[in-house]
Chains A and B, each alone.
Chain A
């Protein structure tokens, strides 16, 4: 039976730990109609810039708008693909190189829906959520991240 969904908080203060990811996978063991999960993890990359090397990204957001938009995206993707579950987590605050800042997790009876939905979610999160990353460089300069 479908349950009514309401906006959920997607934001996590600080990096997303591998324990949280492992726990999230484990939480699905009882949902035995699932046949495939798809997971995307965004990791902070040590980009080399003319002004220095990226050592961290500090994320801020327009929280009320981001949560409304994330809910709209969730509903669209649930309507488009036969998913059992969908989870989205995005970090706020300073996330160091090598740490995880985005965790998108979709589950379905069959792999294709989970994989396509996960891909679409990641693209829409990056394009449509009012979130900003400020890159902190090893020269202690900062610059605003640009999504490609």
Chain B
């Protein structure tokens, strides 16, 4: 299985990235992914966002395995 992950972006982040879904090579961990994204999309540098791995919000650096779904979540504003 190729070492790739699915990345989903929501709200303001999808606008800044220019897509709501991307398939990318697995960076191995959430922190490496974050740094990679900030470099690739400098517009994200001024934004606050959290990540979810397989639909669970992560609280600390988390390993990412192939096939997982990573989501980039701006601050929630439902209701």
Question: What residues make up the interface of A, taking CB atoms closer than 8 Å to B?
Answer: 42, 59-62, 64-65, 68, 90, 101-102, 122, 125-134, 144-147
Which of B26-34, B58-66, B67-75 is the interface stretch? B67-75
User: Can you identify 13 A-B contacts, CB atoms within 8 angstroms?
Assistant: A62-B52, A90-B79, A122-B79, A130-B52, A130-B78, A131-B76, A132-B10, A132-B77, A134-B11, A144-B11, A144-B77, A147-B77, A147-B79
Closest to B74 in A: A132
Q: How many A-B residue pairs have CB under 8 A?
A: 65
**B79 close to A126 (CB less than 8 A):** yes
Going nearest first, the 3 A-B pairs with the smallest beta carbon separation are A131-B78, A132-B11, A65-B55
B8 at the interface (CB under 8 A from A): yes
Q: How far is the CA of A128 from the CA of B56 in the complex (A)?
A: 11
**B55 close to A64 (CB less than 8 A):** yes
Give chain B nearest CB distance to A99 CB in angstroms.
Answer: 14
Q: How far is the CA of A71 from the CA of B62 in the complex (A)?
A: 24
